[in-house]
Amino acid sequence: MRFINGNIFVNGRFVPGGFSVAHGRFTHVLAETADGESVDLHGAYVIPGLVDVHTHGNSGADFSDGDYDGLVKMAAYLAQNGVTSFAPASMTLPYDVLETAFRTAARLHKAAPAGCARLMGIQMEGPFFSEKKKGAQNAAYLRLPDYDAFARLYDAAEGLLRIADVAPELPGAVEFARRAAEKCTVSVAHTDASYEEAAAVFDAGATHLTHLYNAMPGIHHRNPGPIGAASEREDVTAELICDGHHVHPSAVRMAFRLFPGRICLISDALRCCGMPDGQYTLGGQDVFLSGGVARLADGTIAGSAAKLYDCMRNAVAFGIPCEQAILSATAIPAREIGRQDEIGAIADGMHADFVVCDEKLTRQAVYLGGRPL
C-alpha cells in the first residue's frame, strides 16, 4: 500500500511526499515508487505514532493492578488517542504486586492484540524513593535501593523493564545505578538530593530524570539540585508533564532550553484519564479528580488525567516549536526505552504506526502497522 501526497515528518521536519507499507512496516519513505493501490493524503500531515514511557492507566484501569483485561483496555484507549507504543509505569507497592504486574505486561507484549498500542517497555517507578519527596507514592512501601529485588522484577518482565527509578540520596543508590545501568535506563526520581548526590548517580550511569520539576527540589542558586546536575550532562534526558497543571508554561519553555533535544514528553496519566470527575485509587491511596486535576486527599497533586497527544499540542501552544514537540513525544521517548530502531519515527523498516493530522496537529486518523483504527 502506498500513501501519497502528504507532508511526512522525517528526520525532524515535514517533507512533501509519501511512503509505502509492507508487512506492517514502512518502506520506500519519500522514495518514488509505483506500488499499485494507493491512499491519497490530500496534503495532510503525517507524524509517527506517539510513544508514552510514563503512563499509569486510563479508562478506569491501572497497570499496577496486574489485570490483563485492564491492560488491554488501557492499550486500546492509548491507540485511539494517537499513542501507538507505551511503557506503563508502576507505583511504590509490595514486590509481589509489582511482579504480577510485570508478568502481565510481558503477556500483553507477546500477545500484541489488534487495535492496541504496542507495550514496548516498563518504567519501574518505585519503591526506591525519598519519603520527603514521595509525592503520590505510598510511604508504607518505600524501600532502600535493592539490586537483587530489581533483578527479580527484571526477570519477571522478561526484559521489558526499560527504566528503573531511584532517589540518589538513599544509601546504596550509587551502586544500584552502576549495576542497573547495565540492564536498562536508570532515572533519578522522587528525590531530595543535593547537586552532589545527584551528580554521583549520574556519574554512575543514570541518564534520565523522571517528571522534571515534580517530586524534586527546585533550582536554587546555591544548590542547583538534581535539575542542575542533569542539565549539565548531554546524555541525560528529562521527562516533562505538559498537561498545563503540573508545570507552568514558562517552566516548560525553560525546560526545553535547559535540555535541548533531551525533553521526553510524558502523560503520567492515572486510571481516571478518560473518566468523569470522581474518586479513584492510585497505589492503594484515594485520588480525587476534579476539573482535570487529580489530587490525593491531602491536596498533593498526583499524576495527570491527560493524554500525551494533548500534552504535545500544549507544548506547541506554550511556545515550543512544533517539530521539537513532536520529537519529544516520539523519537526521544523511543530512544529512552531502547526502541529507537523499531518505533518513534517514519523510516524504512520501522513499525508503520502513524497519525494523520492537519497543520495544527488536529488528529484525523491513527494507523497501527499501516492499518487504520
268 is catalytic: yes
Coil, strand or helix at 59: coil
pLDDT in tens, 90-148: 999 999 999 999 999 999 999 999 999 999 999 999 999 999 999 999 999 999 999 99
Question: Looking at residue 66, what is its pLDDT?
Answer: 97
pLDDT in tens, 318-372: 999 999 999 999 999 999 999 999 999 999 999 999 999 999 999 999 999 999 9
Alpha helices (runs of H) in 85-221, residue ranges in sequence order: 95-111, 147-156, 173-180, 195-204
How many CA atoms within 13 Å lie on the side-chain side of 33? 16
Instruction: Return the CATH number at 312.
Output: 3.20.20.140
Question: Looking at residue 242, what is its pLDDT?
Answer: 98
Q: Phi, psi at residue 54, to the nearest 5°?
A: -155, 85
8 A C-beta contact, residue 5 and residue 41: yes
Which residue out of 165, 268, 310, 353 is catalytically annotated?
A: 268
Same structural domain, 26 and 142: no
pLDDT in tens, 216-275: 999 999 999 999 999 999 999 999 999 999 999 999 999 999 999 999 999 999 999 999
CA distance 212 to 198: 13
- Looking at the domain assignment, is residue 40 inside a domain? yes
Question: Looking at residue 318, what is its pLDDT?
Answer: 98
- Looking at the domain assignment, is residue 30 inside a domain? yes
Sign of the torsion formed by the C-alpha atoms of 187, 163, 78 and 117: positive
Residue 11's domain spans which residues?
Answer: 2-46+359-372
Same structural domain, 254 and 167: yes
Coil, strand or helix at 166: strand
Same structural domain, 29 and 169: no
Alpha helices (runs of H) in the chain, residue ranges in sequence order: 68-80, 95-111, 147-156, 173-180, 195-204, 225-231, 249-258, 308-317, 322-329, 331-336
Residues β-bridged to residue 27: 20
- Looking at the domain assignment, is residue 227 inside a domain? yes
Is 67 buried (19+), middle (13-18) or exposed (0-12) by CB count in 10 A? middle
Number of domains in the chain: 2
CA distance 367 to 19: 13
Q: Phi, psi at residue 368, to the nearest 5°?
A: -120, 120
CA distance 310 to 244: 10
- Looking at the domain assignment, is residue 279 inside a domain? no
pTM over 0.85: yes
- Looking at the domain assignment, is residue 23 inside a domain? yes
Question: Looking at residue 37, what is its pLDDT?
Answer: 87
Same structural domain, 152 and 37: no
Question: Looking at residue 36, what is its pLDDT?
Answer: 74
What is the average pLDDT score of the chain? 97
8 A C-beta contact, residue 98 and residue 90: yes
- Looking at the domain assignment, is residue 289 inside a domain? no
- Looking at the domain assignment, is residue 101 inside a domain? yes
Same structural domain, 10 and 122: no
Same structural domain, 98 and 223: yes
Same structural domain, 35 and 62: no
Is residue 196 predicted with pLDDT exceeding 70? yes
Cell of 43: 496534503
Question: Looking at residue 34, what is its pLDDT?
Answer: 64
CA distance 348 to 318: 33
Same structural domain, 30 and 60: no
Same structural domain, 8 and 118: no
Same structural domain, 14 and 128: no
- Looking at the domain assignment, is residue 354 inside a domain? no
Same structural domain, 86 and 14: no
Same structural domain, 108 and 12: no
